[in-house]
Structure 1
Amino acid sequence: MNQSEIFDAIVVGTGISGGWAAKELCENGLKTLVLERGPMVKHIEDYPTMNDDPWDYPLKDKLSKSDKEKYHIQSRLNWAPVESNKHFFVNDLEHPYVQTKRFDWIRGYQVGGRSLTWGRQSYRWSDIDFEANKKEGIGVDWPIRYKDISPWYDKVEEYIGVSGQALGLQQLPDGKFQPPMKLNCVEEDFQKSIEEKFDDGRLVTIGRTAHITDPNADFEGRGVCQNRDRCWRGCPFGGYFSSNSSTLPAAERTGNMTLRPNSIVYEVVYDDKTKKATGVKIIDAVTHEKIEFKARVIFLCASAMASVGILLQSKSERFPNGLGNDSDTLGRGIMDHHYKLGATAKVDGHLDKYYKGRRANGFYIPRFVNMDEKTKRNDYIRGFGFQGTASRGDWSEAIGELGFGKELKESILKPGHWTIGATGFGEFLPYDDNRVTLSPTEKDKWGLPQLAFDVEFKENELNMRKDIIKVIVEMFEAAGFKDVRSYEEPSGPGLGIHEMGGARMGHDPKTSILNKYNQVHLVPNVYVTDGAFMTSSNCVNPSLTYMAFTARAANHAAKQLKAGKFS
């Protein structure tokens, strides 16, 4: 590469946000350098385990003892990493960080980032969420409202393909949907039971998920979801949205993208004379060579905590505490969603019914608490939703039963009984003392300061967690399910894999880092469009919102650049 070349734009990161930034900037005609700290992953070509079965692995797709040590933080998820997708998660021994309080940082460093392993649940925010901070005097006010982002939600949903059911809910706006996946028979019974037995706005619907379900739709080479539920290995059909199958190829087709993997960005370079950023400094992950690249516009999409880390490291005489950080809010207001708590139950009947395929989706129960006086809680504000599924067990249920001969053989060939489970996802408030900083002593293998996390659940979150468990047990019991058991596994913030905040949007540079277009208030040619910009967290999965804000910001940047604002 010609290091003296001045690109129109640099995008840092290739995940959910970085892919969209690359696509929109390149399609607007900007010569764009896309930097990724991890290795190259090409769609289909670099999905080595996409067609493997559990019996293809000595430990039936479980991690070995040595791998459990390498992935000791990533494994706190329980469901991942496994042998077939561990290459899409970081080795925790090679990527340490400091935990002043427990923070479960789940990461994937490769081209495509966590777009290869995300849960794909895709929900819009409403004005209930954008207005909550201002109404309740929490944190700072969002500088935008639903009307500002609604057309960008439209654009993103139509491009990535989101299947779902329109509901007409104020708290969960409808979108541009592909045909919804189907609830199974137990989930349909649960849906009917909730409608009949509760009158406070509770309902059960199919999850809204970024999977193509219309076989006649045209998604530029992507195919319809095959219901294999092997999404976390990379989908060769492109049935679910990822940067690798969708936005990065779109950017590449323009001829305007230069993609450089193994490029660890550690600083945004600031010019005090022009009061703008001039480029970024990287360390080559393989050779450890330090290189500087120049551009007129910078997009930080490295993932929330990584982008905050880059801004904190971008120190200069003008910004001794990090780029744009006159307000001392950089690194503050770190949030996540509640996770690892809910309930399970056994379901009688329906033994003559099964389901087709392995649906990579479940049911969803939208927020229904603190919506009005009837649903108001006195011990916490904001709300939560549930994601869950019902399924039938397998032959392993027969192991503990007495039996032999023909009777045992026949029972092993039959599916087991039905069970149902649901996990709560609740809102986490933005507290300024929940923060991430740079460790003054601990370095990584490239000599860069490790991030230090000081983040915790507080009273509002702890009270909400109690209600999440109480409510789902109440619903399962009302539905007549048996052996209802609640659970709350040990966890810290981060385990929901929805880490947010640290470079929040706001009206005022005295209380926020970014303006309404995701620009750094004090350095307007730097945009931050991953989860770092979040001013509050809602209770829904945030990736659709990241994509909508990124598309909006990238088109704003292209117009500003063409108007000569960043010259």
Structure 2
Amino acid sequence: MPLKPFEAIVIGSGATGGVAAQTLAEAGVRVLVVEAGPDLSAQAALGSEPTNSMRRIRGLLSGQHRQQAQHPGYWKHNPLLYADERRYPYSTPKDQPFLWTQGRQVGGRSLTWGGITLRLSDLEFKAAERDGQGQSWPICHQDLDPHYSALERQFAIHGNRDGLAQLPDGCTTTPLSFTPEEQQLAADLQGSADIEMIHSRGFSVHQPSAECPWPPSSSPGSSLQTALSTGRVEVLSGHLAERLMMNRDQSRARGVVVIDQGSGMRIELEAALVVLCASTIASLRFLLLSEHSATEGGFQDPSASLGRHLMDHVSTCRFFQVPSRSGRQSLQDLDPTSQLSGAGSFFLPFGSLPPQRPEALPFSRGYGLWGAINRFDPPWWLKRNSNCRLGFLIGHGEVLPSAQNRVTLSETVDSWGVPIPHISCRWGENETAMVDHMHSMMAEAIGLGGGEIQPLTDLIKMPLIEPIIGNMEAMKAGAPPPGYYVHELGGAPMGSDENHSVVDAWNRLWRCPNVLVVDGSCWTTSAWQSPTLTMMAITRRACLKALQPESE
């Protein structure tokens, strides 16, 4: 492609990269989107069976996906959408495993995103003002509300208006229907306890067609597609963004250095604005390589906190069975829209306002329980009890920021001579106590609904693959290690003071304001909600601000 002059460089083409490109291009800006991975067709990206299953076996045996295969999404999507761990390595302390899911292709991890879209409330943005743990965000819900709304309208998000303080309502369309078994659980909870169950909010399951080959939840099926349609956006795939190039006084970035993944050649690309959307850990590596301590003439980080306070969502899962209210036949065969999806599921949205119990909460912050029943059932003859339907509850809870949880640069380098990320992250006492509480609330809710908690291998017959499934992290009793939930956040947090944050309230590097950091790395706290909608809202807000004269 001709590398013509561009006014902005967007690094990464996933959920935030697509929104950044769209926002800037619709305002008339010429944008180059840099993506490390290939530009796949929809057919190649989505794949089909049995080829996808054969790729999974090859990925496990070869070592390509030994870490990423721990996540259930790996067994749902095309393994081509999970990066080769040998090509993109990272390191951890021996006693601190971290499961890093990497999407190295145009569209990034938006192609494997579950499509849940939840807003954050001021209970999360300002949590530190209540409990003194860490820093509060320099923004609030009102700052993001117009951007949340614009994205929800664009994506036609499904969901109810539930009037919850801990989960602000959005601009949603009609929620997807509960399955019969979910309807029964909702009724049981409403009649027997103070546990509220709501329709999940998000995208419905994608039904590929010639007119709509990409999932609308992915950037190639939404924001990036819209950006490209303006004629002002080009995508440079197969090129890894290595570091910033700075001007002489280190006050602004001139552009970025990228590495051609095929030849290993380094190329300098110049632009007046750089928007970093590479995903949290990849963005932290890029920033660490660009900072003054690693690169002569790099940008200055007055807080000396770059890479610290890495977070994820702490999670745990319970599978269960309930009596079938819809016979033995597959509900998904009768109604394809009933498949598990961001909107085709439910929430017990406790957040920071869990049900009142006599005993005090043994942890700070909050969590939610995401679940579904009769949305992933195998054929009846593979179930150990053919007259039951299968369900799950997955907790995802807020993780307290800790300076000990961090990303640094390893002395080991990759195939292109770039230091690989070293990830040190472990759960603390607060997370352990939260997971114990999740288990008790799961047992209470499932019991009230007449369900029975059992290991998945006791619910489904799994010839040949049962040993593999049984060893997956989701099958274990406790919390999987950090990274498992694919919601890594932090390391370059927003703040109101350059001595305690890496970017300002508009996502600009404090000492290099023409660089925006808008993906999960800019998060101050992890909150408990699924983060992608908020990441995209932050991106839209920051890019619109960058279009204004600096005096405004």
Give the TM-score taking structure 2 as reference length: 0.88
Distance in structure 1 (CA, Å) of the matches to 2:447 and 2:61 = 40
Which residue number in structure 1 is paired with residue 531 of structure 2? 542
Q: Give the partner amino acid of 2:431.
A: E
The answer to whether the 8 A contact 1:122-1:209 is kept is yes
Distance in structure 1 (CA, Å) of the matches to 2:293 and 2:486 = 35
The answer to whether the 8 A contact 1:89-1:108 is kept is yes
Which residue number in structure 1 is paired with residue 397 of structure 2? 426
Q: Secondary structure at the match of 2:57?
A: coil
- Structure showing greater radius of gyration is 1
Could you tell me which runs of 5 or more consecutive residues in structure 2 were left unpaired when the two chains were aligned: 456-474
The answer to whether the 8 A contact 1:348-1:417 is kept is yes
Q: Secondary structure at the match of 1:250?
A: helix
The answer to whether the 8 A contact 1:143-1:506 is kept is yes
Which residue number in structure 2 is paired with residue 89 of structure 1? 82
Which residue number in structure 2 is paired with residue 217 of structure 1? none
Q: Give the partner amino acid of 1:193.
A: D
Q: How does 1:49-198 map to 2 (within 5 A)?
A: 49=47, 52=48, 54=49, 56-57=50-51, 62-64=56-58, 67=61, 69-81=63-75, 85-100=78-93, 101-198=96-193
Q: Give the partner amino acid of 2:275.
A: F
Q: Give the partner amino acid of 1:131.
A: K
Deviation at 1:490, TM superposition (A): 6.2
Is the deviation greater in 278-287 or in 5-14? 5-14
* Residue identity (%): 29
Which residue number in structure 2 is paired with residue 332 of structure 1? 308
Deviation readout 1:473-525 (Å, 9 max, x if unpaired):
11111222235569535621111000000100000000000111111111111
Shift in alpha-carbon separation, 1:57–1:309, aligned structure 2, 3 A:
closer
Distance in structure 2 (CA, Å) of the matches to 1:554 and 1:186 = 44
Shift in alpha-carbon separation, 1:125–1:307, aligned structure 2, 3 A:
same
Distance in structure 1 (CA, Å) of the matches to 2:299 and 2:270 = 17
Deviation at 1:75, TM superposition (A): 0.6
Q: In angstroms, what is the RMSD of aligned CA positions?
A: 2.7
Shift in alpha-carbon separation, 1:372–1:128, aligned structure 2, 3 A:
farther
Count of residues in Structure 1 that have an aligned counterpart in Structure 2 = 521
Do residues 481 (structure 1) and 451 (structure 2) align?
A: yes
Q: How does 1:162-311 map to 2 (within 5 A)?
A: 162-199=157-194, 202-211=195-204, 236-273=212-249, 275-311=251-287
Which residue number in structure 2 is paired with residue 437 of structure 1? 408
Deviation readout 1:40-92 (Å, 9 max, x if unpaired):
124x354462xx3x4x349677524754622101111144156x601111011
Q: Give the partner amino acid of 1:461.
A: E
Deviation readout 1:108-159 (Å, 9 max, x if unpaired):
1001001111111110001111110222212222111111111110011111
Q: Secondary structure at the match of 1:157?
A: helix
Match of 1:396 among 351, 376, 381: 381
Distance in structure 2 (CA, Å) of the matches to 1:131 and 1:284 = 43
Which residue number in structure 1 is paired with residue 465 of structure 2? none
Shift in alpha-carbon separation, 1:207–1:265, aligned structure 2, 3 A:
same
Q: Secondary structure at the match of 1:560?
A: coil
Shift in alpha-carbon separation, 1:523–1:58, aligned structure 2, 3 A:
closer
Deviation at 1:264, TM superposition (A): 0.7
Q: Give the partner amino acid of 1:109.
A: R
Distance in structure 2 (CA, Å) of the matches to 1:71 and 1:484 = 28
Give the TM-score taking structure 1 as reference length: 0.86
Distance in structure 1 (CA, Å) of the matches to 2:313 and 2:287 = 24
Which residue number in structure 2 is paired with residue 380 of structure 1? 363
Shift in alpha-carbon separation, 1:416–1:322, aligned structure 2, 3 A:
farther
Q: Secondary structure at the match of 1:432?
A: coil
Which residue number in structure 2 is paired with residue 9 of structure 1? 8
Distance in structure 1 (CA, Å) of the matches to 2:142 and 2:518 = 19
Distance in structure 2 (CA, Å) of the matches to 1:346 and 1:86 = 29
Deviation at 1:324, TM superposition (A): 3.5
Match of 1:363 among 346, 357, 375: 346
The answer to whether the 8 A contact 1:477-1:484 is kept is no
Distance in structure 1 (CA, Å) of the matches to 2:522 and 2:373 = 36
Distance in structure 2 (CA, Å) of the matches to 1:322 and 1:435 = 20
Distance in structure 2 (CA, Å) of the matches to 1:73 and 1:132 = 33
The answer to whether the 8 A contact 2:158-2:202 is kept is yes
Deviation at 1:374, TM superposition (A): 5.9
Match of 2:325 among 338, 350, 369: 350
Deviation at 1:351, TM superposition (A): 5.0
Q: Give the partner amino acid of 1:464.
A: M
Q: Give the partner amino acid of 1:22.
A: A
Q: Give the partner amino acid of 1:498.
A: H
Deviation readout 1:219-246 (Å, 9 max, x if unpaired):
xxxxxx55x5x89xx9944453211111
Distance in structure 1 (CA, Å) of the matches to 2:200 and 2:237 = 34
Match of 2:418 among 438, 445, 448: 448
Do residues 37 (structure 1) and 36 (structure 2) align?
A: yes
Q: Give the partner amino acid of 1:17.
A: T
Q: Secondary structure at the match of 2:32?
A: strand
